[in-house]
Amino acid sequence: MADERIRVAVLGAAGRMGATVCRAVLDAPDMELVAVVDPPHEGRPLDDFGVAGTGLTLSMLGPSVKAAEPSVAVDFTHVDAARGNLRWCGLNGVHAVVGTTGLTGDDFSDLSALFDGERANAVVAPNFAIGAVLMMHLAALAAPWFESAEIIELHHDNKLDAPSGTAMLTAQRMAEASGEWAPDPTKTYALPGARGGEGPAGIHVHSVRLRGLVAHQEVLLGTTGQSLSIRHDSYDRTSFMPGVLLAVREVANRPGLTIGLDTLLGFGAT
């Protein structure tokens, strides 16, 4: 009987996320890891990066990867590398699942042309943690029923940017769901910045950086006599894997370019 497992290539396989994806693919009974790409580490065995026993060697993206016949490539690299990698996937008829962050509006226009549903499809998600996607969806759903909201995002102390992309996207989704937010009452500041940054629709976003944390976010919503807190915690990189594997399984059935996991989870944008 033919092997019907999904043939997966991992791009950025020596990286923190890439190596975690390799392990998740190896553990998935319906998937086969057929190629691992990481040019800065070309020629080294995948074993050197904590994924033992596959016999796979890190390579460039090119004829040897094509010969391995992947049907899906998962990219967790850096934005400049991802642009070239995705072009290769689109032109070679390989579906792409993309977790790399930092792609711009222009990139998304290019990707819609490249992944036109004819040769290949792509799923791009800035956050593959299913709980985080649900948190954003629930926050947008709740927004019209509350007059005030604040977002607190908390991350490890190596994070260089603030606020997180997820916090900004949450604020944007809430602002799209409701324009009726009470004005900020604060008139004087004993400490500049005490009220955090003002995001879309004036929603305040606070960034906490603390050693020992991974990635966390709480959305607080308030109205007369009650409040609602929606919190998500990622404790390690495995939190992203169910979402990545879902996208690997689904990408062939989603013509063109899909942004975010919402439709894959069965709910459209709020």
Looking at the Cβ atoms of 13 and 140, the one nearer to ligand NAD is: 13
Q: Of 41, 95, 137, 155, which is the active-site residue?
A: 155
Asked if residue 17 binds ligand NAD (CB under 6 A), the reply is: yes
**DSSP secondary-structure letter at 256?**
S
Picking from 98, 126, 146, the residue whose alpha carbon sits closest to that of residue 217 is 126
10 Å Cβ neighbour count for 260?
19
Count of CB atoms situated within 10 Å of the CB of 34: 21
Spatial distance between the Cα atoms of 218 and 206, rounded to a whole number of angstroms = 10
Is residue 159 part of the annotated active site? The answer reads: yes
* Least CB distance to ligand NAD at residue 127 (A): 5
Site for ligand NAD in 71-100 (CB under 6 A): 76-78, 81, 85, 99-100
Give the residue, chosen from 8, 31, 35, 37, that forms a contact with ligand NAD under the rule CB under 6 A: 37
Tell the smallest beta-carbon distance from residue 39 to ligand NAD (Å): 5
Question: Residue 200: what residue type?
Answer: P
Rounded CA separation 121/220 (Å): 36
How far, in Å, CA of 45 to CA of 141, rounded?
47
- Chosen residue from 54, 92, 101, 148 binding ligand NAD by CB under 6 A: 101
Residue 262 in contact with ligand NAD, rule: CB under 6 A: no
Q: Which of 7, 12, 206, 245 binds ligand NAD (CB under 6 A)?
A: 12
Task: List phi, psi (to 5°) of 184.
Answer: -70, 125
Q: Which residue number, 71 or 127, has a Cβ lying nearer to ligand NAD? A: 127
Q: Which two tokens mark 266? A: 């069965």
217: contact with ligand NAD by CB under 6 A: no
Residues forming beta bridges with residue 123, ordered by sequence position = 97, 258
Using an 8 Å Cβ cutoff, are 136 and 252 in contact?
no
Helix (H) or strand (E) holding 143: none
| 39 is an interface residue for ligand NAD by CB under 6 A | yes
**Residue closer to ligand NAD (CB basis): 37 or 203:** 37
- Judged by CB under 6 A, the number of residues near ligand NAD is 24
Rule CB under 6 A: which of 121-180 touch ligand NAD?
125-128
Task: Give me the residues that bind ligand NAD (CB under 6 A), please.
Answer: 11-12, 14-18, 37-40, 76-78, 81, 85, 99-101, 125-128, 240
